[in-house]
Homo-oligomer: A and B are copies of this chain.
């Protein structure tokens, strides 16, 4: 029995690496082919260009295709384009259509066109069909390799059909049933199929209540559905309910990871998902858009403070609390924003009354505002021995926290209403908006109560 623990994996890695360096093709193949493609991909990604070219010559296009399917999506384009084009084409036309499409989507259009020209006609057709679906829709993540059976087959016929199709299908655990017009009529799980008697008709044992998704459906909604219903696959249909493809749970896990990374990056103000593998230039390019916007917004803030120069000149100590107040506003806004964005993207907003949510968030802001306001008031009153300053900062914090909490809730709600992804209302934006609000509140109050402060 062979169970790959970390220790054993390291040893195997070592053996394979040694075989590659010594160019021992037989020994390399003997070890490498036995591994799961995911492990193969991990080893492959670590190699230098020279060794990669050795691997291309040691593996068949089918074998290399399994590796490429599990390679990190961000580096796959580089590998495909460095291969001999005919080898790359063989790989692409032998892998699952949806995976081939995913890879082609990473290449530039000229490269895609030349690969399609090199392919066999039917493979090229299948890929072309999937390529034209918009990114992040059901069409773009579905596969066309699935088993379909007919309403009037018997269980025995269906099983025979299944055995024949199994090696090529992406999944055989849900089998979709179509009628004579190729419209989706039902579904039967392999589990139910193997329990059923051989001479029963499919239409009598299948489940007619099949949940399907439209080809233009959003991948995030589909992920939520799959998670809710605990399905392993979902059929994709057009407007006339014709079966076009299926989406399997392994692709949905990738979607979930992608969407989570996306939301997370946006909250941090990064325009595109970024990884440690990116070069410094690429990282900078992804981070600069927000930073430059913030720079200009920061100039607005500076300008607002400038308006209160007279106040500042009289009571210089006021400026000491600017970062504290702006910081609290920014953070409380981000908290409210995060809750709202997650709730909206988890589909929890539909059933809630928006006004009730806003009312409740106002109350949350009132509670946090009161606690923080009173705390800071006492701190300043004792530390700086200045009760008036303490009350001023305390009230500012309280007002600021209420307004910032509401702003953090309302902005994503408005964006959702306008059909903009609320995650775009990222952390930095709400932070700066609340910076401005908080400074306006603080200095307005200070100016109004100037007599008391200088008195």
A residues apposed to B, CB below 8 Å? 1-4, 34-36, 38, 46, 70, 159, 162-163, 166-167, 172-173, 179, 183-186, 190-191, 194-195, 208-212, 226-230, 232, 241, 249-250, 252-254, 256-257, 260-261, 263-265, 267-270, 273-277, 279-281, 283-284, 287-288, 290-292, 294-295, 298-299, 301-303, 305-306, 309, 312-313, 316-317, 319-328, 330-332, 334-335, 337-340, 342-343, 346, 348-349, 351-352, 357, 360-361, 363-364, 366-368, 371-372, 375-376, 379, 383, 397, 401, 427-428, 431-432, 435, 439
Contact of B172 with A287 in the complex, beta carbons under 8 Å: no
Smallest CB-CB separation from A260: which chain B residue?
B260
Smallest CB-CB separation from A173: which chain B residue?
B173
26 contacts between A and B (CB under 8 A): A3-B210, A38-B229, A163-B194, A167-B195, A173-B190, A230-B250, A252-B253, A264-B267, A264-B342, A267-B427, A268-B337, A268-B338, A269-B334, A276-B348, A283-B339, A283-B360, A284-B367, A291-B371, A292-B371, A298-B324, A302-B321, A302-B324, A306-B317, A316-B316, A316-B319, A322-B322
If A269-B335, A326-B326 are given as contacts, then 14 extra A-B residue pairs at C-beta distance below 8 Å, sorted by A number, are A1-B241, A4-B211, A173-B173, A232-B232, A267-B268, A274-B339, A275-B342, A280-B360, A292-B372, A301-B324, A322-B323, A327-B330, A331-B427, A334-B427
Contact of A194 with B291 in the complex, beta carbons under 8 Å: no
Residues in B with CB closer than 8 Å to A328 are 291, 294-295, 298
Contact of A319 with B327 in the complex, beta carbons under 8 Å: no
Q: Please give the distance in Å from A333's CB to the nearest CB on chain B.
A: 9
Q: Could you say which of B70, B162, B228, B363 contacts A38, with CB atoms under 8 Å apart?
A: B228
Given contacts A287-B364, A343-B276, contact A327 B294 (CB under 8 A): yes
Smallest CB-CB separation from A409: which chain B residue?
B276
Q: How far is the CA of A203 from the CA of B2 in the complex (A)?
A: 13
Residues in B with CB closer than 8 Å to A327 are 294, 298, 301, 326, 330, 431-432, 435
Q: How far is the CA of A445 from the CA of B265 in the complex (A)?
A: 33
Q: Please give the distance in Å from A8's CB to the nearest CB on chain B.
A: 10
Residues in B with CB closer than 8 Å to A295 are 324, 328, 372, 375-376, 379, 397
Q: How far is the CA of A338 from the CA of B266 in the complex (A)?
A: 10
Smallest CB-CB separation from A337: which chain B residue?
B268
Q: Please give the distance in Å from A139's CB to the nearest CB on chain B.
A: 18
Given contacts A253-B227, A275-B348, contact A36 B211 (CB under 8 A): yes
Q: Please give me the 6 A-B residue pairs with the lowest Cβ-Cβ distance, nearest first.
A: A298-B324, A268-B338, A319-B319, A260-B260, A280-B363, A284-B367
Contact of A1 with B256 in the complex, beta carbons under 8 Å: no
Select the residue from A183, A228, A254 with max chain B CB neighbours within 10 A: A228
Contact of A338 with B267 in the complex, beta carbons under 8 Å: yes
Residues in B with CB closer than 8 Å to A46 are 351
Smallest CB-CB separation from A162: which chain B residue?
B194
Q: Could you say which of B183, B212, B263, B363 contacts A264, with CB atoms under 8 Å apart?
A: B263
Contact of B184 with A172 in the complex, beta carbons under 8 Å: no
Q: Please give the distance in Å from A84's CB to the nearest CB on chain B.
A: 28
Residues in B with CB closer than 8 Å to A301 are 323-324, 327
Given contacts A38-B230, A228-B70, A323-B322, contact A342 B431 (CB under 8 A): no
Smallest CB-CB separation from A351: which chain B residue?
B46
Q: How far is the CA of A229 from the CA of B250 in the complex (A)?
A: 9
Given contacts A163-B194, A194-B194, A351-B46, contact A184 B264 (CB under 8 A): no
Q: How far is the CA of A299 from the CA of B124 in the complex (A)?
A: 65
Q: Please give the distance in Å from A356's CB to the nearest CB on chain B.
A: 9
Contact of B291 with A368 in the complex, beta carbons under 8 Å: yes
Q: How far is the CA of A371 from the CA of B254 in the complex (A)?
A: 35
Q: Please give the distance in Å from A225's CB to the nearest CB on chain B.
A: 8
Contact of B357 with A1 in the complex, beta carbons under 8 Å: no
Q: Please give the distance in Å from A76's CB to the nearest CB on chain B.
A: 15
Q: How far is the CA of A342 from the CA of B326 in the complex (A)?
A: 27
Q: Please give the distance in Å from A346's CB to the nearest CB on chain B.
A: 8
Q: Please give the distance in Å from A447's CB to the nearest CB on chain B.
A: 15
Q: How far is the CA of A421 from the CA of B274 in the complex (A)?
A: 20
